[in-house]
Amino acid sequence: MERSCLAIVLAAGESTRMKSSMSKVLHPVGGRPMIAHVMEALSQADIASAALVLGRDAEAVEKAARRGDMTVSSYLQTERLGTAHAVLAARQAIAEGFDDILVVFGDTPLITADPLKAARKGLAAGNDIVVIGFETQAPFGYGRLVIRDGALVAIREEKDASDEEKNITYCNGGLMAINGRKALSLLEQIGNSNAKGEYYLTDIVEVANAQGGQAIAVAAPEAELMGCNNRAELAIIEAVWQRRRRNEMMLAGVSMIAPETVFLAFDTVIAQDVLIEPNVVFGPGVTIESGAVIHAFSHLEGAVVGREAAVGPYARLRPGANLGAEAKVGNFCEVKKAEIGAGAKVNHLSYIGDAFVGEKTNIGAGTITCNYDGVNKHVTTIGANAFIGSNSALVAPVTVGDGALVASGSVITQDVPADAVAFGRAHQTIKPGRAKLLREKYLAEKAAKKQAGK
């Protein structure tokens, strides 16, 4: 679209009903702040300039909203005198002379680019105001969009609506587009002659019509306009977002056995022909390559899972975990900041952190890389085709060479050369009959305590 556009993002709410120590728009949906989702939709609608109207936690909100492909300016709203008053907090940006002004809210993270583009097309067609609305079978409490001969003549609030108007099911979604050349004039004519003494943005429709302008409405899915006022609504929005994202992935070739139990992050990347079993959680920064299987009850964050690799069940991949093709991290294993080479196996009950594991190496059950000395982290390097026996502790910094074998139960504190066998355990000693003597001793001590009433 050739027309210039400024998006005014209203994000100055006090978050009172959220009962939160931070701004409402900073609460995450899909692992990123609500306002970041809104900014993403604006970017996809080809909007290159945004004005943030901020209040609480202004610096943090501004940081969450910033994008490399968008010019963002910020304005502080010091008083709360209604939505039109909030928009005018960005008066300086409005006065720059954009063709289109688009007003959106920072707490509507489900909005997509399509309704925003439709609103802008309405302005391009010569309308002065384009309101984004939605159809609902439960309109109670919403402002009704009063349409006559295709034009929007008013937005009627529930308390002011006539009986006839209350039957209208086309409702105000709150978002709107305004002719940028007339925006300041129209906004400044909005009065506050109402019970609350506030300046309502919805009144701009009647102001524009009174001046001979034209207002229309365009429809969007109701879910996309869902705002968030409390944590119960936040959970509903999260569920809608997750359902939408899962559906997109399944249509793109990802298999999910029980999709309602899989939770994704905003940047989760999963290739086709990946199988996701039930109860899997993806934190931010995860990429899964084709043919991989993520077994049930696994948690992944900041990790890459290579082609035809397998994770879980009950596995945890922390940031920096990178699994090569056909690698396996099995049940009750944790991997953090570690490269697991192609075909390598970390099958069960192991912790591999700050490490490199070569191709086709086998890590036995109960193996840990001791990467922390209480102050600093150190690296463990294990070569290709090595075998680490069960219940071994590799004390970093340490290197185990290609083809080396570490005997079960070993504590390895020195480098192991390639193709060598390392034993790092005490020599086994047997004391015949000693167990019987110790057992008799312990039973006698127990009986004595009982007799003494202890």
Element of type H or E holding 153: strand 151-156
Cα–Cα distances in angstroms (integers) from residue 282 to residues 25, 346, 362, in the given order: 22, 20, 26
Residue 5 to residue 1: CA distance in whole angstroms: 9
Residue of 27, 37, 295, 348 marked active site: 348
- 278 and 298 Cβ atoms separated by less than 8 Å: no
Which of 149, 140, 141, 120 shows the shortest CA–CA distance to 132?
A: 120
Positions of E strands within 308-382: 310-311, 316-317, 322-323, 328-331, 334-340, 345-348, 351-357, 362-363, 368-370, 380-382
Between β-strands 28-29 and 49-54, what pairing exists: parallel, antiparallel or unpaired? unpaired
Which of 16, 10, 116 shows the shortest CA–CA distance to 61?
A: 10
Instruction: Name every residue whose Cβ is closer than 8 Å to that of residue 6 and which is 6 or more positions away in sequence.
Output: 47, 49, 50, 51, 90, 93, 94, 96, 98, 100, 101, 102, 180
Which of 393, 337, 341, 401 shows the shortest CA–CA distance to 365?
A: 393
Bridge partners of residue 293, in order along the sequence: 275, 310
Q: Taking the CA atoms of the chain, what radius of gyration do you get in angstroms?
A: 31
**DSSP letter at 230?**
S
Distance of CA 222 to the CA centre of its chain: 22
At 91, phi and psi to the nearest 5?
Answer: -50, -45
Q: Is residue 378 annotated as part of the catalytic site, yes or no?
A: no
Tokens at 79, concatenated: 């008083």
* 380 residue type, one letter: T
Give the max Cα distance, the chain: 106
**DSSP letter at 271?**
-
Dihedral of CA 347/351/352/357: which sign?
negative
* 251 residue type, one letter: L
Catalytic residues: 348
